[in-house]
Structure 1
Amino acid sequence: MTLRRSFHTILVMMVCASAFGAAGKPNKAKAVKVYILSGQSNMVGIGQVSGGTVRWGDEILNPVVSVYAGAYSPKADYDRMTPITTKALPAYGGTKPTPFPGGGTHVVRGFIRMKTSGVYEFNPGYSDSSYNIMEVDGREVYRKEVGKDAVRQGFKFVEGTRYPFKITFLTDAANGLGWSWRTDIPGTLDTVVKVDKKFPHLIDDKGNWTVRKDVWYRGVVTATANQWLTVGCGANAGSIGPELQFGHIMGDFHEEPVILIKASQGNRSLAWDILPPGSERYTFEGRTYAGYKDTTPSWIEGQEKKPVNWYAGKQYDDFVQGVHDVLDNFSANFPQYSDRGYEIAGFAWWQGHKDGNAAHASRYEFNLVNLIKSFRAEFNAPKAPFVIGTIGFKGWDMAGPHVTVANAQLAVSGDTGKHPEFAGNVLTAETRDFWIDPALSPRNQDFHYNGNAETYLNVGDALGQAMVKLVSARDTRTGNKTRAQLQEDFLKLKFGMFLHYNMATYQGVQWVEGYPSPAEFNPGGPVDTDAWADAAVSAGMTYGVLTVKHVGGFCLWDSAYTTYDVMHPDCPYQQDLVAQFIESFKRRGLKVGLYYCWRNPGFGDQFKVLPPECDPATHTLAEQNEFQKAQIAELLTRYPDVFYIWNDALDDQVMPAEEILTLMRSIRPNVLGSANWWSWAKKGTPYVDIAVKETRHFPETNQAPGETCWKLEQGWFWNKGYRAASAEAILGHMAKAHARHSNFLLNVAPDRQGRFEASSIKTL
């Protein structure tokens, strides 16, 4: 099947990619991974970052500057002090604001009235005058101290309402220059990331756009940024294309550095401008259409041709030359990688709008097959992974020849079987699901997806996920080891500790109903995770798995996606228990895994698997899945020592295991994933790495990597009066598990103080 979620391309002369560097010398380090992205204007990148910065003007009302004696002091209360001079400012903002008096500390007061409701941010001052503190309606919205970066907070304005403002300048440089911009225009990157809280990895801890120091972007022909990957690698500094999210995915996937080279140009067709070399003329409805290098686009046989100042394939040649110019001078262009060389790791293609006439659309599949083969042959990369995004204009309401183009793009995907040579090395991602209506976008421009940044991010995500799937399948490798080697390493661990400790511990139940108050999670002091680890070591265990989110939805870490966790203001614990657990086990040489419970309708609605922010009663299945995927990504990103995710109730009707395992591997190539939901556990790899059985044994004939989970006490979670089984009984089950190609994961349930029962310690 083709991927529906959420070159292209040209490459380069492969300078002995894997084993040799750009100069032909053996590499000491692994070669840099080079991906080439190509297409027309939407690959160039028209996703809008913000509403645009506007100079202050008539929205500033009645500005007055007061000058106070002496240099600025943070201890001074200028609202209570008497100024040495006060001056009205008839011209404020614009390019020539009224000059300030000078001398002392300047404080400007007045009112702001915005013409359009929305959330705005500010840049008061310019150059040295930008060192100031700005308040609106008593709230600090901007602060930039000397030697520090600016810190901004958005302020929500209601159209036509006057709000008092104050700007206190911290140096003797002070003037009326300033800018503002709206941050919640639907569909801009500002709104998608900062307001809607999607794609949170795109901003850093200070609220600035993330800069990837392991992914370099280089554009040729258009979108010519040359920098570490961040926002602004689209058509201009205020736009993005698919490269942003694609680069994040590939940067996370590879241990090696990544270079993205994007060769793209707007208003170009595959049937004329980007026609691959060797393409022959063809006839459609009585007209002959150009082959490669022809200068007449089409003609009727027997009539005079009308040449133009262009030729079929000219843009293809320009793309190729642009990429060659970069890679033929690899060491000069990328001195930081000159000793490593590069490898052509894959191609990505997103194009098709210009081929939306019947003649070009009829030939699209044929031309795309030729394009794939041409790139690969020219750059000596015969099986390099090649991913394609369908066109998605107007979503599933698309009509006419554009549907023919989309169907052609789907047809070349290696999983359709139509082109057997593309099996396992070409994959098409369906993008029509990512269409967003103009009413929810920055502008009404369907051929540019209405400038909606979320669409461009989703397309980049789909292309990246498709590439991860192909790269993994091509090499049968993820990271440094094959999946089989990782499974073999897992089975060598033999014996682990399962720790069921969560809100159910304090409810006296195995499955929590509803949403108990975070105040109930109260161990009465720090949980001694060192004691857990010591007990594991004494029992001969080699790894541990903690229930970081169980039924009830309560999280044992400080999640960015919910307040229903250990850091909730009402929770007495106020510590990251996941980090504690990992640190304790890691110090003793034990490996660590995390248990995560998935939303599953089979639980019944009284059992709230998801926190209140994504309660199934008020959120769609798609929203629930996005929430859960975001938390999985958060856990794998925040805790790099985690080697294993234990997936509970991963129902294939709700969240296909294939999708979540692909996501996990795109973030951490060597991470392992299990599933205890039988329809997937039976399938085994490539969907799940480890099949799980709970208080049941695998058949004697089992050969799939397995994990047998057993309870030391009567329940998974602690309850008063529970006693541990004998060591003899546990050893018997362990021996049976090991004989059936399975690890043995023994559950030990901490009590409400986070301690093990004496009988449990004795058995261990």
Structure 2
Amino acid sequence: MYKFDREAYDRRMEWYRDARFGMFIHWGLYAIPARGEWVRSIEQIPKEDYMKYFEEFNPVDFDPRKWAKAAKEAGMKYMVLTAKHHDGFCLFDSQYTDFKSTNTKCGRDLVAEYVDAVRAEGLKVGLYFSLLDWFHDDFPHYGDRNHPMRNNPAYKNDDRDFDRYLTYMHNQVREICTNYGKLDVLWFDFSYDTLRGEAWKATELIKMVRKLQPDVIIDNRLEVSGEGYGSLAAGNPTPYHGDFVSPEQMIPPNGIQDVNGNDIAWESCVTMNNHWGYCANDHFFKPAPMLIKKLVECVSKGGNLLLNVGPDARGNIPEESIERLAEIGKWMKKNGESIYGCGKAGIEKPDFGRVTRHGNHLYFHVYENTVGPLPLPGVKKEEIQAIRYVATGAEIPVSTSWVHSDYPTMAFADLGEDPVLPDGVDTVIDVILKK
């Protein structure tokens, strides 16, 4: 009978709850057709036709040190790379397949180079691993909801042995948990239909992972997909429960709570444009100010933001992404203390922005100025020790103006005569409460 160890859980989650901001990297053969990471499934491309990308793969500009530096400059604390996506192509030197980067013109173990580069920048190392594998002959083909050959009766499953596939998949997980040093995050993707939980032999899998990587943090997708919370949230954790919930392409309206109403760890994974993998024609990138505010939103609701980049076929992160990372980083250098180690403030969201909290520090994120002094909902004047601009440390007086005399139970901050905020994206004010 499995017994959830809350103490061990809280210990391994401590850095993750403090970090709040990470980089997701979707990259593989699909960068060459440049129509997104699901291209083989969406276009129902046969294996033989997809192999031309394997023969061509040679990312001459691949330099994970540049990726890691970009992440660090953006204020990110951890990175997660797709070691193997659904197409089955491995960026690592697996002994169980020939469908891997070391057998391409590239001829290198790209995961090995990535983990070294990430550690060199002092960031936490994460690897993504797909439970699906459209390349392996024993993974369900015809009739499967996602397989490229799902509608082709020539690919029936009569001679396929799913147990043989599971042995292969477990062996590969063992490889990435053994050959690349300490892993901080292992990001499985994903469960669907009847393929969930013990269909993956998940108890056996996680027992092995925990033996090899006792402190690794694991997502919840052995049980669910981007939708669904998993057994930890349901109050009956399985041996393969996720350490965090993984909403995709959305931010939960109220954070995420378990069945008892207690806040639980979660991480929104979000793309900068509309695809995870490189898509040459997708130029619909979210502006940096929007991404900064979405990071703040996640933290204010008790969650993390895992922001994706999709490097191109040569191994370069798109310029649009680099520009946004730099702009986010500029803001983070001045205001990072309102993100790292912060969480829900426990007070009502103000009209002008959001609030994050770390101990007795309430960080008011001001997106638009108010007419008159700035109201601080949930804060009384007598509770305040000091108010400071986070970016400069400059003092902000507590307002004594008569204009808010009708609101004696609420404190107001005097931001001065200039109606234009110092930071037009997010001016962060640190309201320090008396201990």
Q: Extract unaligned runs of 5+ from structure 2.
A: 133-138, 151-155, 257-262, 326-435
Structure 2 residue corresponding to 1:632, chosen from 152, 168, 173:
173
Q: Distance in 1 between matches of 2:295 and 2:63?
A: 27
Counterpart code for 1:694: E
> Could you list the per-position Cα deviations for residues 101-125 of structure 1 after superposition, in whole angstroms to 9, with x for gaps in the alignment?
xxxxxxxxxxxxxxxxxxxxxxxxx
1:714 positional shift: 2.1
Asked whether 1:691 is paired with 2:245, we answer yes
Work out which of the residue numbers 727, 733, 743 in structure 1 matches 2:294. Answer: 733
1:395-418 superposed Cα distances (whole Å, 9 cap, x missing partner): xxxxxxxxxxxxxxxxxxxx4xxx
Q: What percent of counterpart residues are identical?
A: 27
Partner of 2:230: 682
Alignment of 1:206-245 (within 5 A): none
Residue 519 of structure 1, aligned match among 33, 39, 55: 55
> 1:700, 1:739 within 8 Å by CA — same for their partners in 2?
no
2:112 paired with 1:586: no
Name 2:311's counterpart in structure 1.
Answer: 750
Match of 1:572 in 2: 105
Per the alignment, residue 759 of structure 1 pairs with 320
Q: How far, CA to CA, are the matches of 1:667 and 1:653 in structure 2?
A: 20
Structure 1 residue 709 corresponds to structure 2 residue 269: yes
Q: Which runs of 4+ in 1 moved over 6 A?
A: none
Could you tell me whether the CA contact under 8 Å between 1:661 and 1:673 is conserved in 2?
no
Whether 1:563 and 2:98 are equivalent positions in the alignment is yes
- Shift in alpha-carbon separation, 1:483–1:757, aligned structure 2, 3 A: same
Equivalent residues in 2 for 1:120-269 (5 A)?
A: none
Q: Which has more radius of gyration?
A: 1
Q: How far apart, in 2, do the equivalents of 1:639 and 1:577 lie?
A: 11
Conserved? CA contact 1:652–1:680, under 8 Å: no
Alignment partner, residue 103 of structure 1: none
Equivalents in 2 of 1:556, 1:617: separation in Å? 30
CA shift digits 1:481-525 (9 cap, x unpaired): 7112212321111100000001111122331244322213222x2
Q: Distance in 1 between matches of 2:273 and 2:314?
A: 17
Structure 1 pair 735/493, CA: closer, same or farther in 2 (3 Å)? same
Q: CA RMSD in A?
A: 2.4
Aligned residue number for residue 673 of structure 1: 218
2:183 corresponds in structure 1 to: 642
Preserved contact between residue 533 and residue 584 of structure 1 (Cα < 8 Å): yes
SS of 1:694 mapped into structure 2 = coil
Whether the 8 Å contact between 2:34 and 2:312 is mirrored in structure 1 is: no
Residues 701 and 541 from structure 1, CA distance in 2 versus in 1: closer, same or farther, beyond 3 angstroms? closer
Given that residues 23 and 307 in structure 2 are in contact (C-alpha distance below 8 angstroms), is that contact kept between their aligned partners in structure 1?
Answer: yes
Distance verdict in 2 for CA 1:551–1:603, change over 3 Å: farther
What secondary structure, in the 3-state scheme, does the structure 1 residue paired with 2:115 have? helix
Alpha-carbon distance in 2 for matches of 1:605, 1:618: 16
On the 8 A contact 1:594/1:642 being kept in 2, the answer is yes
Relative distance call for 1:596 and 1:620 in structure 2 (3 A) is same
1:45-60 equivalences in 2 (<5 Å): none
Alpha-carbon distance, 1:699 to partner: 4.2
1:639 deviation in Å?
1.0
Instruction: Give the deviation of 1:736 after TM superposition.
Output: 1.8
Aligned to 1:549: 84
- In structure 2, the CA distance between the partners of 1:637 and 1:618, relative to structure 1 (3 Å rule), is farther
Q: Distance in 2 between matches of 1:595 and 1:689?
A: 15
| Distance change >3 Å, CA 528–CA 661, structure 1 → 2 | same
Corresponding letter in the other structure for 1:649: F
In the other structure, the counterpart of 1:101 is none
Displacement, 1:557? 0.7
Task: For 2:158 and 2:61, locate their aligned partners in 1 and report how far apart those are by CA, in whole Å.
Answer: 35
Q: CA deviation at 1:653?
A: 6.1
Deviation for aligned residue 1:616: 6.9
Contact 2:64 2:117 in 1 (8 A): yes
The amino acid that maps onto 1:739 is S
Cα distance per residue 1:529-556 (max 9 Å; x no partner): 1110111011000110001111210000
The aligned amino acid for 2:175 is E
Structure having greater relative contact order (Cα 8 Å, sep ≥ 6): 2
Superposed CA offset, 1:615-646 (max 9, x none): 97753111111111111011000012311110
Write the letter of the residue equivalent to 1:582.
V
Relative to its length, the structure with more strand (as a share) is 1
Query: Once the two structures are superposed, what CA deviation does each residue of 1:146-186 show, in whole Å capped at 9, x if it has no partner?
Result: xxxxxxxxxxxxxxxxxxxxxxxxxxxxxxxxxxxxxxxxx
- The equivalent residue for 1:192 is none
| Corresponding letter in the other structure for 1:567 | T
Counterparts of 1:653 and 1:621 in 2: how far apart (Å)? 13
Aligned-pair CA distance for 1:658: 3.7
2:337 corresponding residue in structure 1: none
TM-score after normalising by structure 1: 0.35
TM-score, length of structure 2 as denominator length? 0.60
For structure 1, the 5+ residue unaligned runs are: 1-414, 416-468, 609-614
> Match of 2:12?
486
The structure 2 residue matched to 1:606, chosen from 141, 148, 151, is 148
TM-aligned CA deviation for residue 761 of structure 1: 1.0
Contact 2:127 2:183 in 1 (8 A): yes
What SS does the corresponding residue of 1:482 show, helix, strand or coil? helix
Alpha-carbon distance, 1:579 to partner: 0.7
Q: Is the 8 A contact 1:713 1:749 kept in 2?
A: no
